[in-house]
Amino acid sequence: MNDSLLYPVQNNFRNEQLLNGWWKFQFDLESKVEQDEWMTKGLPNPVDMPVPASFNELFSKSKERNYVGDFW
């Protein structure tokens, strides 16, 4: 199985890095990321979420659980 094309391989050109942990995310209901300069000022109301996780199991409100749109 290690010879599979989808298996992560580390070499001089590729580096495997784990991204799991707690991340801060932001719902962008009105696509304001550029207008409000979130890239430089930071997320205004971030939500802490574990990564990896199932998005729809982390929220109890239907509006958040079924959200489709920009998410930073």
Q: Is the overall model pTM greater than 0.75, yes or no?
A: no
> CA-CA distance, 14 to 12, in Å (whole number)?
6
At residue 50, the 3 state secondary structure works out as strand
Beta-strand ranges (E) seen in the chain are: 21-25, 47-51
At residue 67, the 3 state secondary structure works out as coil
* Residue-wise pLDDT tens digits, 22-66: 999 999 888 887 788 888 888 899 999 999 998 788 989 998 889
